[in-house]
């Protein structure tokens, strides 16, 4: 047994109280708990329950309810996070009721966004919270029996003593509620886990399959009206004038208003930079009694737009990015040794450029938000991944106290990074502030696809030097729209494995808004890098798997703290993937491609199998091996792995958003291709079993998928894909009539 150590005082984020209705309520601040850098308040007597955002309720009858504050975007954290609490609380999972509801609509603001980091950050504090609650219940029972707490054991919500007497948790909640919060608690050894590591169904499953109102778009209150917004049709345009006579005469249309003043305030203050392109222009809003009437009303507006800045086309942007790669203006993010000397001395060099398009997020549930603003209160409800930030920004833009803001989160019909950006919250708030009625802002699919914060178009150029059969230099250059790679990404593989190594970045500031998209930067960088290593192996005439393993070998024992990938874990997932995929042992007609990648603290290796059907290569199977530490919920984990891999394959094959004079050329699913049922590969997933603390799973299986497919397509067709999406190059999909040599 290990006593867990944590760098902050547990008392500051846990508080208990007895409930008027009977039972015990344990409140804890997940925000503080999961982000140890946030300083808990010094004087805890000043804390009240409003400062807590997650709760465990144990009723008199022993029933346990966990109020999970984390927004669910489809990654399963709403199930996995309560599992961590329940494990240490020592209750049976099927007796636990998980609610994302709010305990108190007046006073409860949920603060924490989801994402691949939730489980990693919550791993210790959530288990500690459960263990603390359990210890208090045990202490209460021990006091009742007059025995030492250490003589008591628990199992599935029942406390037993050495004499064989038992008490249910519900029997001692009253006493436990007034007990001291213990200073330290003992956490279970992983081998004693009963809930962690077992399959748990999505906690909302019953509601989802029966169509209960769960999502933002489903939220309704009496007297609510609907708003649809006419935004500039092209990035770079701004509103000049509009005629709303026709719209105002349409059935159900209540009013037509102009917004934009407040949003401009926001961008002036530097908040919400990502809304700049759209935020620079005023917008026309149609308020109507129903969604359909608002959508129709919007179509009836005739607006004039003027060009505020250059209307960019994809061709123009491509030239800018290539110009950057060819140029000399770079910021160096990492530099080891001297690449120039190594290149000068090289026997051979290889240089390749890889190109990716913009991608919209296309969450299945279009952006939307509810707002109701009175002099007393700003009530916001909907799907957003950054509620705290949105609440602060809205208060700032309306010149109100943030305490007036009550933000509730709904389940989200997908996130993929889009709902990190609060543009739709600000729009809803500005509208509600003007009309002073409860209002639901609704994006049509066209609005959603054309007013995006897209995955930026990026180009990578990679050059390597080979000397005496070794890779002696690696130079990665990035030219991106908007921002550049950040954080530890420049220190991912092959940093540390190659003596002379340099990462240079440059960016072009476009007026097209860009932002995070599932696995930011790595979603395409992995494709570039892992395609490049395959080519490198080919010109070095070495085994492509061995090349990667050998390079990883050199990272072992590294003392460079920036390098956080583990060469041992990486080698392991590679070896397991080789084994499980039958690498190199496939019958004729099956062409395999390999990729391995580390991001979001998890290690992944994938093998894609391509077969020829009716003369075209088809991705039939992807074997995916993941080391993400302890797997909290294998059932949910496999769902994430399958989804991530298929998403990666789908976007590499089909995803493409181009611009013509600032206008997105796809507006809806008729012109934007997403992978569908008939195109999916079988995904065989393998989770590495170990006892290392869990890491991210929502994102890391996506990045390597594109490279594994490209490498398999090369094997099948002899052609190298360096640009996504692959479907844009049907000529490269031609299968040669003669067998490929080499």
Partner 1 sequence: MPKYDIKVNGISKSVDVAEDTPLLWVLRDHLDLVGTKYGCGIAQCGACTVHIGGTAVRSCSLPIASVGVQEITTIEGLSEDGSHPVQMAWKEVDVPQCGYCQTGQIMTASAFLDKNPNPTSDEIKTAMHGNICRCASYTRIHRAVEIAATKLG
Interacting residues toward ligand FES by CB under 6 A: 74, 364, 414
CB of 685 to ligand FES, least distance (A): 17
CB of 425 to partner 1, least distance (A): 19
Local structure of 317: helix, strand or coil: helix
Q: Give 180's contacts (C-beta < 8 A, 6+ positions apart).
A: none
d(CA 84, CA 100): 16
Local structure of 577: helix, strand or coil: helix
What is the sign, positive or negative, of the torsion defined by CA atoms of 326, 327, 333, 334?
Answer: positive
H runs (alpha helix) in 554-681: 567-581, 634-654
Question: What DSSP letter does each residue of 374-393 carry, written as one string?
Answer: -SS-EEEEE--S-HHHHHHH
Nearer to ligand FES, 341 or 364 (CB): 364
Binding characters for partner 1, 332-371, by CB under 8 A (x = yes): ------------------------------xxxxx-----
Nearer to partner 1, 335 or 445 (CB): 445
Nearer to partner 1, 141 or 645 (CB): 645
Partner that binds at residue 659, options partner 1, ligand FES, none, CB closer than 5 to 8 Å by kind = none
d(CA 645, CA 155): 39
Q: Give 152's contacts (C-beta < 8 A, 6+ positions apart).
A: 138, 141, 142, 145, 159, 160, 161
Closest residue to ligand FES in the complex (CB): 364
Nearer to ligand FES, 452 or 456 (CB): 452
**391, 675, 708, 713: which one binds partner 1 (CB under 8 A):** 675
Nearer to ligand FES, 697 or 707 (CB): 697
CB of 677 to partner 1, least distance (A): 4
d(CA 638, CA 464): 36
Under DSSP, the state recorded for 67 is E
Contact yes or no for 694/347 (Cβ under 8 A) = no
Residue 680 lies near partner 1 (rule: CB under 8 A)? yes
**253, 367, 412, 551: which one binds partner 1 (CB under 8 A):** 412
240: left (phi over 0), alpha (psi -120 to 50) or beta: alpha
Nearer to partner 1, 220 or 319 (CB): 220
Under DSSP, the state recorded for 70 is S
For residue 52, with 0-12 CB atoms within 10 Å meaning exposed, 13-18 middle and 19 or more buried, which class applies? buried
- Report the chain's terminal Cα–Cα distance, integer Å: 55
Partner that binds at residue 306, options partner 1, ligand FES, none, CB closer than 5 to 8 Å by kind = none
Cis upstream peptide for 725 (omega within 30°): yes
Local structure of 215: helix, strand or coil: strand
Q: How many CB atoms lie within 10 A of CB 487?
A: 10
| Candidate ranges 164-172, 290-298, 308-316, 602-610; the one touching partner 1 (CB under 8 A) | 290-298
Residue 727 lies near partner 1 (rule: CB under 8 A)? no
CA-nearest of 409, 404, 376, 703 to 529 is 703
What's the chain's Rg over C-alpha atoms?
A: 28
CB of 217 to ligand FES, least distance (A): 11
**74, 115, 494, 496: which one binds partner 1 (CB under 8 A):** 74
d(CA 76, CA 72): 7
**54, 217, 458, 610: which one binds partner 1 (CB under 8 A):** 217
CB of 725 to partner 1, least distance (A): 16
**403, 676, 692, 736: which one binds partner 1 (CB under 8 A):** 676
Nearer to ligand FES, 72 or 529 (CB): 72
Residue 218 lies near partner 1 (rule: CB under 8 A)? yes
CB of 252 to ligand FES, least distance (A): 20
Please identify which residue in the block is written with the tokens 């395959």.
534
| Candidate ranges 116-124, 308-316, 496-504, 668-676; the one touching partner 1 (CB under 8 A) | 668-676
Residue 313 lies near partner 1 (rule: CB under 8 A)? no
CB of 54 to partner 1, least distance (A): 21
Q: Pairing state of beta strands 378-382 and 405-409?
A: parallel
CB of 295 to ligand FES, least distance (A): 12
Partner that binds at residue 688, options partner 1, ligand FES, none, CB closer than 5 to 8 Å by kind = none
CB of 208 to ligand FES, least distance (A): 8
Binding characters for partner 1, 244-283, by CB under 8 A (x = yes): -------xx-------------------------------
How many Å separate Cα 533 from the centre of its chain? 27
Partner that binds at residue 411, options ligand FES, partner 1, none, CB closer than 5 to 8 Å by kind = partner 1
- 544 half-sphere exposure, CB direction, 13 A CA radius: 23
Question: What DSSP letter does each residue of 489-511 carry, written as one string?
Answer: GGGSTTTTTSSEEEEEEEEE--S
CB of 444 to ligand FES, least distance (A): 10
Q: Give 588's contacts (C-beta < 8 A, 6+ positions apart).
A: none
**669, 692, 727, 740: which one binds partner 1 (CB under 8 A):** 669
CB of 444 to partner 1, least distance (A): 6
| Candidate ranges 69-77, 125-133, 169-177, 425-433; the one touching partner 1 (CB under 8 A) | 69-77
CA-nearest of 597, 520, 607 to 565 is 597
Helix or strand run (H / E) with residue 423: helix 423-435
CB of 428 to partner 1, least distance (A): 17
Contact yes or no for 622/708 (Cβ under 8 A) = yes
**75, 502, 514, 719: which one binds partner 1 (CB under 8 A):** 75
Q: Give 140's contacts (C-beta < 8 A, 6+ positions apart).
A: 172, 173, 175, 176, 179
**209, 613, 731, 737: which one binds partner 1 (CB under 8 A):** 209
Residue 636 lies near partner 1 (rule: CB under 8 A)? yes
Contacting positions for partner 1 (CB under 8 A): 72-76, 199, 201-202, 204-206, 208-215, 217-218, 220, 226, 251-252, 290-293, 295-296, 362-366, 411-416, 444-445, 635-636, 639-640, 642-644, 646-647, 650, 668-670, 674-678, 680, 682-683
């Amino acid at each position: 047994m290990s006593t867990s150590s944590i760098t902050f005082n547990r008392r500051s984020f846990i508080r208990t109280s007895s409930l008027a209705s009977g039972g015990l309520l344990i409140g804890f601040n997940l925000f503080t708990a999961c982000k140890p850098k946030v300083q808990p308040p010094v004087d805890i007597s000043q804390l009240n329950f409003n400062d807590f955002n997650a709760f465990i309720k144990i009723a008199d009858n022993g029933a346990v309810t966990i109020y999970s504050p984390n927004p669910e975007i489809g990654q399963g954290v709403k199930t996995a996070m309560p599992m961590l609490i329940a494990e240490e609380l020592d209750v049976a999972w099927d007796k636990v009721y998980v609610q994302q509801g709010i305990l108190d609509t007046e006073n409860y603001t949920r603060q924490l966004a989801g994402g691949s980091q939730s489980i990693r950050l919550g791993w210790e504090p959530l288990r500690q919270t459960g263990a603390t609650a359990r210890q208090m219940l045990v202490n209460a029972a021990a006091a009742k029996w007059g025995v030492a707490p250490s003589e008591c054991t628990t199992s599935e919500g029942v406390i037993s003593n050495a004499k064989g007497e038992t008490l249910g948790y519900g029997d001692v909640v009253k006493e436990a509620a007034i007990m001291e919060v213990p200073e330290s608690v003992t956490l279970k050894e992983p081998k004693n886990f009963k809930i962690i590591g077992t399959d748990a169904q999505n906690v909302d499953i019953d509601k989802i399959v029966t169509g209960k109102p769960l999502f933002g778009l489903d939220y309704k209150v009496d007297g609510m009206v609907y708003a649809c917004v006419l935004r500039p049709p092209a990035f770079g345009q701004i509103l000049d004038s509009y005629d709303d006579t026709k719209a105002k005469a349409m059935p159900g249309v209540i009013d037509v208003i102009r917004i934009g003043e407040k949003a401009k305030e926001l961008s002036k203050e530097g908040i919400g930079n990502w809304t700049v392109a759209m935020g620079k222009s005023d917008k026309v809003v149609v308020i109507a009694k129903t969604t359909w009437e608002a959508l129709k009303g919007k179509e009836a507006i005739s607006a004039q737009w003027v060009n505020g800045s250059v209307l960019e086309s994809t061709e123009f942007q491509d030239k800018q990015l290539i110009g950057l790669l060819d140029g000399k203006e770079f910021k160096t993010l990492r530099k080891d040794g001297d690449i120039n000397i190594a290149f000068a001395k090289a026997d051979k060099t290889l240089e390749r450029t890889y190109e990716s398009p913009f991608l919209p997020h296309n969450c299945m549930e279009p952006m939307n938000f509810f707002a109701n603003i009175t002099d007393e209160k700003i009530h916001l409800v909907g799907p957003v991944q950054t509620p705290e930030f949105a609440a602060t920004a809205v208060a700032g833009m309306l010149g109100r106290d943030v305490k007036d803001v009550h933000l509730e989160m709904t389940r989200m019909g997908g996130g993929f990074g889009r709902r990190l950006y609060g543009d739709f919250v600000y729009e809803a708030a500005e509208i509600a502030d003007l009309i002073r009625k409860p209002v639901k802002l609704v994006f049509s699919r066209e609005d959603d696809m054309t007013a995006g914060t897209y995955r930026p178009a990026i180009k990578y150029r990679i050059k390597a030097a080979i000397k005496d059969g070794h890779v002696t230099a690696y130079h990665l250059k990035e030219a991106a729209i908007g921002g550049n790679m950040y954080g530890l990404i420049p220190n991912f593989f092959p940093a540390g494995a190659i003596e002379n190594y340099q990462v240079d970045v440059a960016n072009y500031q476009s007026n097209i808004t860009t932002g995070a998209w599932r696995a930011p930067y790595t979603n395409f960088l992995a494709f570039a890098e892992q395609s490049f290593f395959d080519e490198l192996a080919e010109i070095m005439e070495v085994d492509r798997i061995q090349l990667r393993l050998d390079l990883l070998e050199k990272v072992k024992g590294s003392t460079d703290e920036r390098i956080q990938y583990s060469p041992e874990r990486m080698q392991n997932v590679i070896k397991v993937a080789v084994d499980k995929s039958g690498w190199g042992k496939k019958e004729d007609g099956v062409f395999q491609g390999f990729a391995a990648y580390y991001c979001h603290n998890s290690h992944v290796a994938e093998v894609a199998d391509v077969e020829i059907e009716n003369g075209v290569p088809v991705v039939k199977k992807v074997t995916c091996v993941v080391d993400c530490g302890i797997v909290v919920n294998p059932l949910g984990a496999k769902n994430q792995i399958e989804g991530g891999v298929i998403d990666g394959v789908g976007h590499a094959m089909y995803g493409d958003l181009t611009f013509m004079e600032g206008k997105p050329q796809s507006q809806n699913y008729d012109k934007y291709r997403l992978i569908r049922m008939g195109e999916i590969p079988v995904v065989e997933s393998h989770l590495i079993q170990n006892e290392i603390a869990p890491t991210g799973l929502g994102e890391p299986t996506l990045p390597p998928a594109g490279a594994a497919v490209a490498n398999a397509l090369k094997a099948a067709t002899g052609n190298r894909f360096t640009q996504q999406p692959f479907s844009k190059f049907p000529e490269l999909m031609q299968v040669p009539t003669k067998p490929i040599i080499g």
